[in-house]
Structure 1
Amino acid sequence: MAKQTLVTGGLGFIGYHLCKRLLALEPASVITVVDNLSSTKLDYTDLIGRLNITIQDVESLPDSLAEFDDIYHLASPVGSLGILGKSGRIAGNILDLAEKVAKIATYSKSRLLYVSSSEVYGRDGRHLESSEQIVPCKRGARMEYALAKLTVEHVLLNLAMEGDFQLRIVRPFNAMGEWQSSTIGFVIPKFFEAALAGRDLQVFGNGKQIRSFCHVSDLVDGIIQVQAKGKTNNIYNLGHPDNIVPIEELAHLIKELCASRSAIRHVDPVSLYGKHYIEAFDKVPNIAKAIEDTGWRPNIGLESGLARILNHYRAVADLQIRRPIDDNFPQNLNA
């Protein structure tokens, strides 16, 4: 019998790349994707006919949807700007999604991998999975998001200890890659699109914020390796600790890579996006646990990753091989 896999949020940025990798690694498996298209809008026509796609809210799924061997739960509000308009409702949404997926996993007695967030660390530093989480005295959409992700980790771990499903959790650090959305606040596509259009690259604050970017290709490999080899009921950091760069330096790198004449301008994000906006902490992952338990290591350096992204933008612009999803795009596509 063919392996059955469920990917929630499989048409978002990370989910799309995860589905493509799963199809390459497990061509005989049956993959079901459920997504409500609420975050990244990308052209997923290359997946049609290769997996089962259902466009609906995960919360509305029946607990007995199917008997899955593996579940990858990625469905979530996402993006520093994507969550702003949902302030006050972010936590409830994230918890409702997790509760539904836990019921589906319990029905199947499946392996469940939950994609959490490095936001749960809540402070600057190089973080281990065993680090204590400290809640800063801040109010805003990002803190609500972080606390909801952390709460779901605890909820799922408690449910999994009842023995109904096998749980593994990953905390991604600063993903980058092709098809990432600028409209929900991710900095690399915002910089690329500004540089290629000749607009100012807007750097928040003094630009000294530190990020550690991991290409999505490496990230989805890590997700798959944790699902396959990670220890049950364990949490794993996934990221590239060598790809550390201040945001202002990143802006210069992308401007030079694009041979752009754009200016780099410092701006106040709160004045642009309102009082609920909070800038991210300076987080760098310690990935020793993932390396030891799964053998996974990231391989794509920062400049190589940025070059891939530039090639993607050029391919889309020059060859017009993709188109954004619009309201007329088919809503239920079952292979």
Structure 2
Amino acid sequence: MVKERVLITGGAGFIGSHLCDRFLREGFQVVAMDNLITGDLRNIEHLFKHPDFEFYNHDVSTFVHVPGDLKYILHFASPASPIDYLKIPIQTLKVGSLGTHNLLGLARAKRARILVASTSEVYGDPLVHPQMEEYYGNVNPIGPRGVYDEAKRFQEAMTMAYHTYHNVETRIVRIFNTYGPRMRLNDGRVLPAFIGQALRGEDLTVFGDGSQTRSFCYIDDQVEGIFRLLMSDYALPVNIGNPDEITIWEFAEEIVKLTGTSQKIICKPLPKDDPKQRRPDISKAKSLLGWEPKVSRSEGLKITYEYFKSLPQDVLYTREHKNFDKYVR
């Protein structure tokens, strides 16, 4: 029996690498594609000897060619942290526009179903709480975050256009804050930033007064939601995230308790357009997919902390940007 093939772009990234693992367990042949700007081969090196795994070092913003049949395409190629998309804004815009266009064209040519990874950032600094899929968002298109937010909003529009006018089978997942092993320790997102600071014996940096909120979904739950959405018959966007909301200050206190650090929690000015609230309405995911998160934050944080503690010292003390502390998380 010939196994079905799936293409996962951004396959060496955090979520992409976990998706590679999942589809191999499900019995698929997996083609991972990544230009390694933010991805890391260490995330998938355990798969290189797997007979059903292939890797292409390639930038999907140029063109995409994959020989042979494809059953599914999952488009996860994009910088996702503030440090990355503020450092490489043009590449971020191109992968959300040109890259998405190329992959939708490939899906049409291969008659493959394609799932594109959107984000809660399409809601911007929301005026509706919690955020439901019907909310159009409050986004500043020319602000510092606009290169990421608008790339994702365009990506959704392009995906729906291909669905409507070319009858391509499309799925759109709006991903809320996700965490777990294989996150980059110093990529500027709140959880690895806090844990990294605790491990280095630094004060934990909170932006603003810490009253802004986030909702954190463990990677296993996220991958399960993505998989179910791909296999569903629903073409409109679906939120996948954990609705267990917490303030950034409270979250910092949880990390202090988890890591046993004696360092202080300090405040710095809130960056421009930082979302004040972030919590998904997952009613659609529950009703359409039978999905809701299973892993508690305390359980997921313990696993993630053990992963970060196991990293080499050179990773722990590497700053990935000279202005690391100024960026929003």
TM-score by length of 2: 0.88
CA contact (8 A) 2:8 2:16 kept: yes
Indicate the percent of aligned positions where both proteins have the same amino acid: 29
Contact 1:230 1:293 in 2 (8 A): no
Give the counterpart of 1:204 among 202, 207, 212: 207
* Counterpart Cα distance in 1 of 2:90 and 2:6: 32
| Inter-partner Cα distance in structure 2 for 1:130 and 1:238 | 14
1:93 lines up with 2:88 in the alignment = no
Instruction: Map residues 210-289 of structure 1 onto 2, 5 A cutoff.
Output: 210-231=213-234, 233-242=235-244, 244-268=245-269, 270=271, 278-289=273-284
- What letter matches 1:10 in structure 2? G
Letter in 2 for 1:211: R
What is the correspondence of 1:49-64 to structure 2 with a 5 Å cutoff?
49-50=49-50, 51-63=53-65
RMSD: 2.1
1:276-299 superposed Cα distances (whole Å, 9 cap, x missing partner): x64234121111111111111110
C-alpha distance in structure 2 between counterparts of 1:279 and 1:201, whole Å: 18
How far apart are the structure 2 equivalents of 1:281 and 1:40? Answer: 28
Please tell me the residue identity of whatever aligns with 1:156.
T
Q: State the match for 1:133 in structure 2.
A: 137
Aligned pairs (5 A) from 1:135-154: 135-136=139-140, 139-154=142-157
- State the match for 2:20 in structure 1: 19
The Cα offsets for residues 59-109 of structure 1, whole Å up to 9 and x where unpaired, read as 344446432101100001220111112335532331011011011101111
CA shift for structure 1 position 120:
0.5
Structure 2 unaligned residues grouped into runs of 5+: 319-329
1: CA distance, partners of 2:36 / 2:65: 21
Separation in 1 of the partners of 2:92 and 2:312?
34
Matched, 1:178 2:181: yes
What pairs up with 1:97-108 in 2 under 5 angstroms?
Answer: 97-108=99-110
Post-superposition shift, 1:14?
A: 0.6
| Correspondence for 2:74 among 59, 62, 72 | 72
Q: Which amino acid aligns with 1:135?
A: V
Is the contact made by 1:39 and 1:184 (CA closer than 8 Å) also made in structure 2? no
Q: CA deviation at 1:182?
A: 3.4
Kindly tell me the number of residue pairs found equivalent between the two proteins: 309
Matched letter for residue 155 of structure 2: V
Aligned to 1:47: 47
Match of 2:161 in 1: 158
Letter matched to residue 8 of structure 1:
T
Aligned-pair distance for 1:201? 0.9
CA distance in 2, matches of 1:89, 1:208: 32
Cα separation, 2, equivalents of 1:144 and 1:59: 15
Instruction: Determine the C-alpha separation between the residues in 2 that align with 1:262 and 1:66.
Output: 55
Contact map agreement 2:60 2:95 (CA 8 A) in 1: no
Q: Give the structure 2 partner of residue 38 of structure 1.
A: 37
Displacement of 1:315: 3.6
Deviation for aligned residue 1:40: 4.0
Pair 135,316 (structure 1): closer, same or farther in 2 beyond 3 Å: closer
